[in-house]
Amino acid sequence: MKKLFLILIIPFLCIAQQQTYVPDDYFEQALIELGYDNVLNDSVTTSIIDTITLLPISNKNISSLIGIGDFSALQTIRCSGNQLTELDLSNNVNLQALFCGGNQLTELNLDNNTSLRVLKCGNNVISQLNLSNNSLLIKLFCRNNLIMNLNIKNGNNSIIDSLYTTNNPNLNCIEVNNINYLNTNFTFENNNLDPQHYFDSECGVSTLLNSRINTKNVLKKLDILGRETNNKGFQLHIYDDGTVDKKYLIK
């Protein structure tokens, strides 16, 4: 009878003691400080972390978030100001807000995070950002990166109320659905965008609109008083094709 009891109870004990591998000591120490662990041994009990909805671990000198996939209920992650070079959130399908600015991320894949509403990923070295699966996105802050391609085309752009993409010098075209709405609400004049940024529905198509930056040359740059200038501030750029653009240079 005792043997039968042990056979029946052992599987339940194993489930209760399932551990999540957390190799970064700074990450585990942050979990200890939050009360989710008590011994620095590269692991944390999975049943303790898989119901957490908020994880505030900013400015903790963390280099790796291996193990984050077992935080399956997470809705908000605050991991800004660390030393992260990669971030795998493919298992965190309930995620609604991600604050990961001020790291060393070179890429950010959020294809599985379809509930995402807020993304702040500025001050990294991200070169590509495809948010076409994140149709609920409301706030996007991705300035101070190296982004060349930014795609938010499948999002309902009419509900975006915050968009900041400044200081991405290699970014020209931002692929979106609702061009008119974004042109009305987000411009370089109110410091949301760099002067070279523009919205289009098909950035990958080689059209005159998409290539306009490379097919015309500036003849004159005039200040608000009509004087030629190279200083920062308000400028009128007069091109050789007869067009004129208003620009506000902050650098």
Q: Which pLDDT score, from 0 to 100, does residue 251 have?
A: 47
Q: Does residue 1 belong to any structural domain of this protein?
A: no
- Residues 144-164, mean pLDDT to the nearest whole number: 88
Label residue 249 by pLDDT band (50, 70, 90): low
User: Which CATH number characterizes residue 202's domain?
Assistant: 3.80.10.10
Q: Which pLDDT score, from 0 to 100, does residue 225 have?
A: 63
- Domains identified in the chain, total number: 2
Quick: pLDDT tens for 156-187.
Answer: 666 899 999 999 999 999 999 889 889 989 98
Q: Are 148 and 248 in the same domain? A: no
Q: Does residue 83 belong to any structural domain of this protein?
A: yes
Q: Are 151 and 245 in the same domain? A: no
Residue 229's domain comprises 217-251
Q: Are 186 and 85 in the same domain? A: yes
**Residue 76 host element (H or E):** strand 76-78
Token pair for 59: 């400015």
Q: Are 129 and 225 in the same domain? A: no
Q: Is the pLDDT of residue 139 over 90?
A: yes
User: How many helices (H) and strands (E) are present in the chain, helices listed first?
Assistant: 4, 15
DSSP 228: B
Q: Are 181 and 240 in the same domain? A: no
Label residue 229 by pLDDT band (50, 70, 90): confident
Can you tell me whether residue 164 is helix, strand or coil?
A: strand
User: From CA 97, how far away is CA 58, in angstroms rounded?
Assistant: 14
pTM of the model: 0.77
Residue 46 contacts by C-beta under 8 Å, 6 or more apart in sequence?
18, 19, 20, 70
User: From CA 16, how far away is CA 45, in angstroms rounded?
Assistant: 8
